[in-house]
Structure 1
Amino acid sequence: MLYRTNYSLSSKSINWVKIQLENIYRRASSVTMHPTTDSEVNTGDVNTIHGTKRSIDDGSENEAKVQKTEEETVQVTTVQATEMETVQRIKRKNHAMLLGYVGKDYYGMQRNPGMKTIEEDLITALLKADLITKEQFENIRAINFQRAARTDKGVSAIRQIVSLKLPENSNKTTINQFLPDAIRVFGIKRVTKGFNSKNKCDARTYRYIIPSYAFALEDQSLLKLGEEVDEDERIKQLSIIDGKPYTDYRLSPESLDKLNSILKLFEGSHNFHNFTSKVKPLDPRARRYIISFCCMETFVLNDIELAVLEIKGQSFMLHQIRKMVAIVVAIARNMICKETIDEAFKTMDKMDLPLAPSLGLCLCHVHYDNYSKRYGTDGLHETLDWKECEEEVEKFQKTYILQHMIDTEISEQTTLKWLAGLPFYSFNNRDMLPVEDDEKQEAVHNDV
């Protein structure tokens, strides 16, 4: 009888409980006598199952494999984590980069899909040098890339500035090894977080290098403006100046003074709508400020005298400098009068003005005077005058830019052929103007 219970169990119920307890006992004994899992095997014994001896090493090998796999997984995970930490640890700082390039064979500075440009080669070199990622190569805005000047097709640069984010201690030598000889990086400097090479620029200086024979006086008896000319016949006429070959021409002091007086007419603030493409006279973009414009020097290279015209301004539009040079040449040759410049500024009409060759134009300086005064002496940043790079810059200019200009002048007679076509232009108002080849790039193109 159970202790103080209100219920009584029959003998049949008691027997059923006994049977269940015996069954549980047998199953427990069976598991103890015949282990079937690796975890229950005693590593010091050898078990015999169904008359076949089985070594316990099978279990040890599996356990070792599991352990090895876990270790390898840990190692791979550790390596991946380390790589991720390395990527995360790469700190990018804002930098200014000084570079020069020969514009020949390039469709300008700015990146343009499907076109060979200076920026495309530069960004590709940064990718190969592991200074930017593939994603940043595809989208250069991610590294805050900006250029100080958007030079046109065929235009070179002695000193161009770009701003971008790069890893600390980036080396110009590493970049240059992936660049063609026509493009060189001269220096890299840390700049302030908010620095932008375009917006922080105070002014830009361009040079237009042209053979001095372009300013020789025209034979008025052979000159007919606004009419088609026989190019071959006119080239023969231009090839002789004062009874001598055109390459023997040298600019006299009087001619140099006359040239500088013409160039000075462009200084100040004026409406340059006639010196660019598709800009209306009342468009605010047409008004530009020219700080200075003069002939800096003349020098002889390969028996040809070259004149260096230097123009400094706040900003320039597409074709502006080349059209300015073209009208200066026409005035110096007595093809038109000085008053044509003032008319081009004031008229509401579009005038028929020629475009000087791109060969002679190059970006010379990008000025950051205000930035250098404010941050150049704070002990953290440097001035952006790049004086320490001057020797390397001058060597590149003489070896590549000037040599390219003179070689092309001699082989292709670029300026001579251009002069032959000048009489075709009327320099007056015209309803329909010829479309320049370079106008395919864009309507208004700020060089700066």
Structure 2
Amino acid sequence: MYQPHDLEQSHSPPEKRPITEVQAGTSEPFKRAKVEFEEPEKKIHSTEHEEEPSDPPESADTKQGKRDAAGWPKSRQGKAKDTKNKGRRRGTRDPGAQGKEDEDQGPKTPRLPKKQSALLIGFCGTGCNGMQIQPDVRTIEGVLFDALVRAGAVSKDNADDPVKVSLGRAARTDAGVHAAGNLVSMKLITAIPGVEDFVARINEELPPEIRVWGSVRVQNSFNARMSCDSRKYTYFFPTYLLIPPKPGTAFQRVHEQYAESMQGVDPLDASAHPFWSVTDSHSSSSTDDLMRKRSWRISAEQIEVIRQTAKKFEGTHNFHNFTVGREFGDRSNQRHMWKLEISDPAVYGDTEWISILFHGQSFMLHQVRKMMSALVLSCRTGTPSQVIDELYGPRMVMVPKMPALGLLLEYPIFDSYNRKVASLNEKLEPSHAEYRPEINFEQYRDSIDAFKQTFIYDNMRAIEDRDGVFDAWVRSIDTYGGNDLLYLNPKGIIPAAAVIKKGEKRDNPFKEKRRFDLTSFPDKQGTPTVEDEEEAERTLNKSCLEDMEG
């Protein structure tokens, strides 16, 4: 029978026996072997994890007997090899050939101290499979880490595994998404022999679409994700997305029929809208429509409607309908949006654009793109802003994602950390070893703005001008004739026909196109390199979803 004291006994450290104590009948050779085992272990110098000393030296009592906190001998002899972190980037060195390499290379390179550092970076995400390192694909962190190895900021001993240098990030971005500012933290060799400008040396090893703005020495306990207070994202889109659905499309017919069944409301008459009241506009081709859409200009009244609807997102809400894989009762759905700012429209080339700045504590997977979709679709269909409140409720519905092309991470914010180090720095000179600078992206504003213009804005507008990505997205909405989007109605209430029930199959569900997750389209004809397939529903565990937040 289980007794509590049994557990205590099983975890108690073994009693220390005199070295000469031997059980009856023990032979002399065994006695000598035991004496050898009890000898203090020899100090082994590691070549992989050295960093600047930060902890006080051990006391004499701790060193005596060379035992750990549980009382067990600290020798590593006979212990199994550590097999944690199986997802590491391994395989750059051949363990079998290590001994031969050591003989050929002679004495090892002197070990250099590492310091916990934060790199402030910016990048154009085109051509990369997201921010986080993944095996066998090009990612922002993968390119950056390889550049750090070549520059000497990461030793060759640690070059095969970013986990060894505690790589972390403030915000994770999806494939193709851009960032004017992001932050990665890790233990780096910042005093590289022969290198006067640390940041410039790293940038020499990076492609021009990935830049390091600066490097900051941070506290050893710094965690890029947990130390971040909030993030800022911007979403850009052409104003023609706010033109009502084309008369005669499946979406327009279904929603007009549903609105007619509701009492006390007038259905949206899309044919009366100035854009669709032009002769032959109902039978025009999508190419002709797009040419006219580019010359369309939004009214001041429509801008005001967007601004008032966007205020519904501010504050703390349950955003379970604005991500994937989350149940209504999951407390992690509660997110706080500090502010949404809608810019005045501006014309670039032939097209008018609007940008919306999202400042939030944190964002779940696809959250900004789904918030944008709810905002744009409700405004273009005349749906009251009340629908946003409905989407915070327990009923689950399908909210499409806006194209990834318009999304930009501006930068993460570290106000709490900055206040903490500012307090600690009051009595320290900047040259002091314990002095820690604040994390501030604004000091690199000129360089960031120039980078955004060349590598992000110009690229985004050129792709839209060539391929009409946003027009293709809104036409994919208008060709849908099912019930999933019936919450876009004159009352702004979610009907039962639009509710998604877990495990229940729906007739004619809305199918998202993977092509709208892309930000680059190599085919000159505008045909994406990824087939237009339904985005398969993924069952993601909570840990995976948390790792995908930004």
State the TM-score, normalized to the length of structure 1.
0.74
Describe the SS at the equivalent of 2:345. strand
Deviation at 1:245, TM superposition (A): 1.7
Deviation at 1:393, TM superposition (A): 0.6
After superposition, residues 189-338 of structure 1 pair within 5 angstroms as 189-219=216-246, 222=249, 223-225=252-254, 236=285, 240=289, 245-334=292-381, 336-338=383-385
- The equivalent residue for 2:412 is 366
- The equivalent residue for 1:418 is 473
Is 1:429 the equivalent of 2:499? yes
Unaligned runs of 5+ in 1: 1-75, 228-232
Assess if the C-alpha contact under 8 Å between 1:216 and 1:332 holds in 2. Answer: no
Deviations 1:173-209 (A, max 9, x none): 2212222222111111111111111111010010001
After superposition, residues 25-424 of structure 1 pair within 5 angstroms as 83-84=108-109, 86-87=110-111, 90-169=112-191, 171-219=198-246, 222=249, 223-225=252-254, 236=285, 240=289, 245-334=292-381, 336-348=383-395, 350-376=396-422, 378=425, 379=430, 380-423=435-478, 424=480
Deviations 1:129-159 (A, max 9, x none): 1221344232212112100011011211010
Say which structure is richer in helix: 1
Moved more, 150-159 or 433-442: 433-442
Moved more, 95-104 or 128-137: 128-137
Deviation at 1:256, TM superposition (A): 1.2
Change (3 A) 1:336 1:422: farther
Letter aligned with residue 203 of structure 1: S
Instruction: Give the percent of matched residue pairs that are identical in Structure 1 and Structure 2.
Output: 28
Which structure is richer in relative contact order (CA contacts within 8 A, separation 6 or more)?
1
Moved more, 284-293 or 428-437: 428-437
Assess if the C-alpha contact under 8 Å between 2:325 and 2:539 holds in 1. Answer: no
Change (3 A) 1:224 1:430: farther
Deviations 1:28-87 (A, max 9, x none): xxxxxxxxxxxxxxxxxxxxxxxxxxxxxxxxxxxxxxxxxxxxxxxx99x966x55x22
Change (3 A) 1:398 1:169: farther
Change (3 A) 1:340 1:237: farther
Say which structure is richer in strand: 1
CA distance in 2, matches of 1:142, 1:325: 39
Assess if the C-alpha contact under 8 Å between 2:153 and 2:190 holds in 1. Answer: no
Change (3 A) 1:187 1:239: farther
Count of residues in correspondence between the two structures: 361
Letter aligned with residue 404 of structure 2: S
Change (3 A) 1:119 1:220: same
Assess if the C-alpha contact under 8 Å between 1:238 and 1:246 holds in 2. Answer: no
Deviations 1:200-253 (A, max 9, x none): 1010010001112212344566523479xxxxx898369549xx8211222322
Moved more, 397-406 or 189-198: 189-198
State the TM-score, normalized to the length of structure 2.
0.61
Assess if the C-alpha contact under 8 Å between 1:235 and 1:417 holds in 2. Answer: no
CA distance in 1, matches of 2:344, 2:220: 39
Unaligned runs of 5+ in 2: 1-101, 193-197, 257-281, 488-497, 518-534
Assess if the C-alpha contact under 8 Å between 1:296 and 1:309 holds in 2. Answer: yes
Letter aligned with residue 397 of structure 1: K
CA distance in 1, matches of 2:254, 2:127: 33
Deviations 1:95-131 (A, max 9, x none): 1111111122221101111222111111111112122
Is 1:447 the equivalent of 2:514? no
